Amino acid sequence: MHDRYGLSGKTAVVTGATAGIGGAVAHGLSAAGAHVVAVGRDRQRGEALCDRISAEGGSVEFVSADVGEQSGLDDVLDVARARPVDILVNNAGTAILGPTEALTPTDFDKMIATNIRGAFFLVAGIAPGMAERGSGSIVNVSSMAGAVGTPGAAVYGATKSALESLTRSWAAEYSVRGVRINSVAPGPTYTAAAPRDWFDTVGLTTAMQRAAEPTEIGEMILFLSSERASYVTGSTFPVDGGRTAI
């Protein structure tokens, strides 16, 4: 399906892989020949994902872990130490939306832990090995909320802006040793996070006046994961139907 990306023999770790964008990325990387380590909190959905990918002839394993928790990070890094990781997709994210005055400290900490801390320590644990081997690609999944002020999404948007800042800093730190680090910032994308009609409504605010399917975001992530993007690093790519352009 995606053999043009040439990922045969590569190992890819994808967090938040059991549904939505992460699921599309896991399928796409597997179809391109990579062995996929699919990370997610829901074991039932994770095992179902692995069954589907295996039925398609792909190579996959599931790690039941919450990267917002230290124990979950440790579980993922234990698997990563067992074999060289060529691709890391930091897709796991938590969005707790509502008025600023209604956000609790627990809500705040949960978004920071998953959206920033989890990605940070996965990069800290995996990027040095990539740098030692002289190659690797890391793709961080941000959001248009990192660039567009959105009522009720102050902390969520701040975490995504921070992730984009980390992307630039990591590129400056690791790209001289062959590791490319980029971000993808999706616009409204049909996932289980909200009813489909909610995404339909938000999609009307984009230049294309529609929401995206997860595979449309996944294609950009696949490109950045592959050597087809060999001179691309330190950038954030909006995949938002033109929302941040208008």
Catalytic annotation, residues:
156
Q: Do the Cβ atoms of 19 and 41 come closer than 8 Å?
A: no
The residue written with tokens 């938000």 in the block is: 202
Q: Given the DSSP bridges, would you call strands 59-64 and 179-186 parallel, antiparallel or unpaired?
A: unpaired
User: How distant is the alpha carbon of residue 33 from its chain centre?
Assistant: 19
Which one, of 224, 214, 217, lies nearest residue 171 by Cα? 224
* One-letter amino acid for residue 130 of the chain: M
The token pair at 176 is 């001289």
The residue written with tokens 């996070």 in the block is: 193
Q: Which residues, at least 6 apart from 58, have a Cβ–Cβ distance to it below 8 Å? A: 27, 30, 31, 36
3-class SS of residue 67: coil
3-class SS of residue 88: strand
The token pair at 96 is 């707790």
